[in-house]
Amino acid sequence: MSPPLLATVDVCVVGSGAAGSTAAIAAARGGARVLLIEKLPFLGGTSTAVLDTFYGFYTPGARPHKVVAGIGDEVIAALRALGPVVERPNTYGAGIGVTYLAEHLKVVWERLVELAGARILLHAFLQDAEVRDGIVETITVATKSGLRSVRARVFIDASGDADLCRFAGFAAERAGELEPAQTLTTTFRMANVDGGRRAGVTRADLHAAMATAAESGAYDLPRREGSDHVTPVSGMTATIMTRLESTAARGGEPVDITDPDFLTAVEIAGRRQALEYARFLVDRVPGYEASSLVALGTQIGVRETRRVYGDARLTRDDVLGARRFADQIGLCGAPIEDHHVGVDTTWRYLPDGAAVGIPYGTLVVRDAVNVLVAGRCFSATHDAHASVRSMAQCMAMGQAAGTAAAIAAAGSAVPREVDVAALQARLRRDGAILAVEEATPVVSVA
C-alpha cells in the first residue's frame, strides 16, 4: 500500500541541481503543475553544495562562442542583481567560467522556481517508485513526517544519480562498469589570500610546488595538479584540488558510488585531504601565507554515478566530431575532462569553436513511458559525459526536459511522442541556443 498522498501533479522533478531546478522552472512556465523534490535543505545540488563556477556557456579556444542561453542567462542575471559575478578564463581552457557566490545561487534558484509557480519540497528523499508497464505511477519520498507518496503524469529524474530510474528498475550504466569512473573531490575555500602575490604564481609553479611537497613526504597530496581560483569575495579563493578514488585503487573492483558506506568513507577522507591541501597552500604558495580555510563543500563532489540508457546515447566520437543531430536541444563545446585515478587529469578538445549537439533522445529513458532525465545522469558514454556534464549543459538539458514534460503532460504524457520540431521552436522562443549558427561570438573576454 502506498504511503499517504502528498501531491498529485502534472510534472514531478526529482533533484534540484542545475538540471532539476531549470527543468522545474521550464515545466511550470509551460503551464504544468510542478513539484520539485530535493533531499537537501536548499536547491542547487552540486551548483550550490560543492561549486561556484558555471562552465559550458562558452566554447573554449581562440574564438569563443556562447552556446547556452535561455534560463541559464536568467540565472546569471539574477546572480548579478544580488552581487558581483566574475567572468574568468579557465585555467585548463574549458572556456570562460562564470564564478558566483553559492549562497546567492541558493536564493536565486528558489526565487526563479517559485516565481515560475512550481512547488518546492525540501528535506524530501526519493525512496521508491511504483511502475506498471514502464509507467511510473507513484513515487515514495522520505520526509521528517514519514513516508509520503507523489503521483504525476510525467517524471523528470534530475537526481544526478538516476535514483528514480534505479528504483523504477530502468537500465543504467553504473560509473566504473565499462570504463574507470571519475574521481571525487571535496572542495574548500580559503580566506585572507593576498591576491597580488598569488597572481605571480603560474599554474606550472603551483603544480611544481605540489609535486615537490608531495615527494618530500611532508604532505599527503594524491593529486599533483588541480586549481584555485578567485571568487567574487575579495581575498577568498575556491579550490578544486582533492582527489578521492572511486575504482581501481581499491583492488580493481568498481565501487558503487551511491553505497552509503563508501560515501561516508570519502566524505571523511575528503575533508581530511582538504585540510592537507590547505596546509600545503599556507606553507608553500606565495599569497597564502596569512590565509585560513573558511569553508568545506557541504558534501563531496561526485562527478558520475549512473547514466541511464536513453532512446539515444551520446558517444566520444559524437563529441570530438562535433556531431549535429536532427533532434538536438542544446549544444556543448566543453572538452572531455577526465578526472581519472592517478596524479593528473586528461583533456581532449573539440575543434576550435565547434560544439556537439545534445540529442533529445538522450533525455528520453529507453525503458520508460513517462520519464525523462536531465543533467549528469543523461544517456551518454563515460567520455561523452565527461564533456557534457558542465552546469550550463545541465541547464540546457533541464530547460529542454521541463519544456518537453509540460508538452507531454498536456497531451499523451509520453515524452517520446512529443513533436520535436515544436519542442525546438518553443526552446528557441524561450532563448535557448540549439545550433552552432545561432551561437554568438564573444567580442571581449572579461
Ligand X SMILES: Cc1cc2nc3c(=O)[nH]c(=O)nc-3n(C[C@H](O)[C@H](O)[C@H](O)COP(=O)(O)OP(=O)(O)OC[C@H]3O[C@@H](n4cnc5c(N)ncnc54)[C@H](O)[C@@H]3O)c2cc1C
Q: Which of 11, 154, 380, 391 is the binder for ligand X (CB under 6 A)?
A: 391
- Please, which residue, 51 or 96, has the CB nearer to ligand X? 51
Tell me: does residue 375 bind ligand X (CB under 6 A): yes
Tell me: does residue 24 bind ligand X (CB under 6 A): no
Tell me: does residue 185 bind ligand X (CB under 6 A): yes
Tell me: does residue 109 bind ligand X (CB under 6 A): no
Angle in degrees, CA 232, 238, 243, rounded to 5: 160
Q: Which of 10, 74, 157, 163 is the binder for ligand X (CB under 6 A)?
A: 163
| Interface pattern 234-273 for ligand X (x via CB under 6 A) | ------x---------------------------------
Q: How far is the CB of 20 from ligand X (least distance, A)?
A: 5
- Please, which residue, 127 or 412, has the CB nearer to ligand X? 127
Q: How far is the CB of 411 from ligand X (least distance, A)?
A: 26
Q: Which of 6, 12, 15, 76 is the binder for ligand X (CB under 6 A)?
A: 15
Q: Which of 68, 78, 126, 406 is the binder for ligand X (CB under 6 A)?
A: 126
- Compute the distance between CA of residue 359 and CA of residue 339 in angstroms, rounded to an integer: 25
Q: Which residue has the cell 603544480?
A: 207
- Please, which residue, 143 or 412, has the CB nearer to ligand X? 143
Q: Which of 12, 25, 55, 68 is the binder for ligand X (CB under 6 A)?
A: 55
**Residues 6+ away with beta carbon under 8 Å from 128:** 139, 140, 167
Residue closest to 378 by CA, chosen among 71, 160, 135: 160
- Compute the distance between CA of residue 75 and CA of residue 97 in angstroms, rounded to an integer: 14
DSSP 427: H
Q: How far is the CB of 14 from ligand X (least distance, A)?
A: 6
Residue closest to 322 by CA, chosen among 443, 428, 440, 435: 435
Count residues near ligand X (CB under 6 A).
Answer: 38
Which set of grid coordinates corresponds to residue 92?
585548463
Which set of grid coordinates corresponds to residue 188?
574548500
- Compute the distance between CA of residue 47 and CA of residue 44 in angstroms, rounded to an integer: 5
Segment interacting with ligand X (CB under 6 A) among 38-46, 194-202, 358-366, 427-435? 38-46
Segment interacting with ligand X (CB under 6 A) among 79-87, 114-122, 245-253, 386-394? 386-394
Which set of grid coordinates corresponds to residue 215?
615527494
CA dist 239 → 48, 190, 230, 275, 320 (Å) = 14, 8, 9, 12, 28
- Please, which residue, 50 or 281, has the CB nearer to ligand X? 50
99 φ/ψ sector (left φ>0, alpha ψ -120 to 50, else beta): beta
Tell me: does residue 125 bind ligand X (CB under 6 A): yes
Q: Which of 39, 66, 148, 307 is the binder for ligand X (CB under 6 A)?
A: 39
Bridge partners of 346, per DSSP, are 338
Q: How far is the CB of 21 from ligand X (least distance, A)?
A: 8
Q: Are 301 and 51 in contact (CB under 8 A)?
A: yes
Tell me: does residue 335 bind ligand X (CB under 6 A): no
Q: Interaction with ligand X in 392-411: which residues (CB under 6 A)?
A: 394
DSSP 126: E
Tell me: does residue 18 bind ligand X (CB under 6 A): yes
Furthest-apart CA atoms within the chain: distance in Å: 65
- Please, which residue, 193 or 238, has the CB nearer to ligand X? 238
Q: Are 126 and 362 in contact (CB under 8 A)?
A: no
Residues interacting with ligand X, by CB under 6 A? 14-20, 37-40, 45-47, 50-51, 53-56, 125-126, 158-161, 163, 185, 240, 301-303, 375-376, 389-391, 394
